[in-house]
Structure 1
Amino acid sequence: MSQDLALDGLAVPLRVLRLLAADFGHLPAPDVDVSPVFPGLLRLRFHDDLAGFEAWRDALGIVPDDVVYSEQSGGRTRVLKASVDYAGAALELTGFGDVPAPAPVGSAPAPVGSAV
């Protein structure tokens, strides 16, 4: 049970967090989650910042094809997820961003040279 886990039971993801801070301290700060429920997992999340997600994805060597795309909140929020093993911990990277509203029908500019 996670209720019996001592703090040193989270040493692996906390060590990875320390490594990431030392090696990638110049990257955008994520929302960080370490939990005794999943003691070998480090979660990094970006809310409304897919650029931060992409910077970390690239730094961690995760190829774009390994990113899973989904939507939530009735299609209003896009979700990017990727996972990688990093220095002995499972690292989960998640980015949340708004889905752009589609352009209204008929709002496209007229082609060049056409009469309006």
Structure 2
Amino acid sequence: MTEDTTAEQIKAASALLSLLRAHPGLPAGYVQLKRMVPQAGGSPQWGIAVRDHDDLSHFEQWRDALGLDPDHVTLNTSQPETNWIEVAGSWSGVPIEVICFFAFIDPDGPQ
């Protein structure tokens, strides 16, 4: 097994810097470089993960700024206390995913 080095993260880090410069008004989120499989498939490569908590409008601002298709947003409410929406795509040829964790309150559930 080969070890990853920081040199392999340069493309993702450069894309992140480009993204932040292009959209300095985006809400701050938890940003991480991580290994991901590109949407088109293939080998895992370093990409950008953006996380937010409890503010779906922040998710939407990121999704819109990145030009990610709203039809590709997925919703997961399978766990009572951990719910999220996510969308994936690419920025400057680097995989990117945006996820927002939130509390789901079922209006038909017990009050």
| Global fold match (TM > 0.5) | yes
Residues 45, 93 of structure 1: 8 Å contact kept: yes
Deviation at 1:77, TM superposition (A): 3.5
Q: Secondary structure at the match of 1:53?
A: helix
Residues 35, 47 of structure 2: 8 Å contact kept: no
Q: Which runs of 4+ in 1 moved over 6 A?
A: none
Does residue 91 of the first structure (1) align with residue 90 of the second (2)? no
- Alignment: residue pair count: 104
Choose 1 or 2 for highest CA Rg: 1
Equivalent positions of 1:1-116 (< 5 A) are: 1=1, 4-35=3-34, 39-74=45-80, 76-102=81-107
Structure 2: which amino acid aligns with 1:63? Answer: D
Q: What is the TM-score with the length of structure 2 in the denominator?
A: 0.79
CA RMSD of aligned residues (A): 2.4
Identity rate, percent: 27
Q: What is the TM-score with the length of structure 1 in the denominator?
A: 0.76
User: In the aligned structure 1, how far is the partner of 2:12 from the partner of 2:32?
Assistant: 9
User: In the aligned structure 2, how far is the partner of 1:36 from the partner of 1:77?
Assistant: 23
Structure 2: unaligned runs, 5 residues or longer: 37-43
